Amino acid sequence: MSIAIAIDGPAGAGKSTIAKAAAKHLGFIYVDTGAMYRAIGLYCLRNDVDPADSEAVTALLENIDVSLARDENKNQLVILNGEDVSGLIRTEAVSMAASRCSAIPAVRAFLLDLQRNMAKEFDVIMDGRDIGTVVLPDAKVKIFLTASSEIRARRRYDELIEKGQQAVYEDVLADVIERDNNDMNRPIAPLKPAEDSVLVDTSELNLEESIALLIKTIEENK
Ligand code: DC
């Protein structure tokens, strides 16, 4: 039987970086489910479809194939209809499109089997919004990883600047708050801690401390 660790939390809590490092340390496969929603968001933008238009996005799904692969360093790659879009999905426009299309029931259903099958096959640390509540309700350890919205916006801003993208802190903060609202208030699979999850708050921690706390929390609870 494979072991699953579910990590949920809001945008910019450092989930992906922290969970990836913990997965490497523990020898688990890291699965970033947000990247799958981002691939669908990107497809909507490329095809001029409003990612909030449930009917139009649902109709698009039959043209979409999303899968995950690994590069030689075992980093996750996101493949959209045969194309590696791992870099293209990391823009603010795609973040917002992903947040919007992820509220559409057909989009969530489309990705659910893919996510569950990965957890059946491998020991995974899976990161997202509804992993502990919906995707893997029987996960061995469930973690809700969070940080204050200001800290999360600051981290996202620094990341964008480092990548050479243009950014204004106030705009990034407004996006973080809007995305939290979208993710927490949608009727289907809203972002919320699973009842049996452990809360990990990284507001006051640097990256190394956050990784160490996550590994400790997993080891104490698995
Ligand atoms: O984790 P991320 O920022 O890459 O996620 C992008 C969007 O996808 C986010 O706004 C919410 C959505 N998402 C989701 O609804 N469920 C998941 N399991 C993962 C992401």
3-class DSSP assignment, residue 74: coil
3-state secondary structure labels for all residues of 94-126: HHHHHHHHCCCHHHHHHHHHHHHHHHHHCCEEE
Residue-by-residue pLDDT tens, the chain, 222 positions:
889 999 999 988 889 899 999 999 999 999 999 999 999 999 999 999 999 999 999 999 999 999 999 999 888 999 999 999 999 999 889 999 999 999 999 999 999 999 999 999 899 999 999 999 999 999 999 999 999 999 999 998 998 899 898 999 999 999 999 989 988 998 988 999 999 999 999 999 999 999 999 999 999 998
Pocket of ligand 1 (CB under 6 A): 11, 33-34, 37-38, 95, 98-99, 102, 128-131, 179, 183
Rounded to two decimals, the pTM is 0.91
Q: What are the start-end ranges of the H helices in the chain?
A: 15-26, 34-46, 54-60, 92-101, 105-121, 149-162, 169-185, 207-221
At 116, list the tokens: 């569950």
**Best residue for ligand 1 mutational test, from 20, 30, 33 (most atoms within 8 Å of Cβ):** 33
Identify residue 17 by its one-letter amino acid code: T
For 52, counting Cβ atoms within 10 Å of its Cβ (0-12 exposed, 13-18 middle, 19+ buried), the class is middle
Residue nearest to atom 14 of ligand 1 (CA): 129
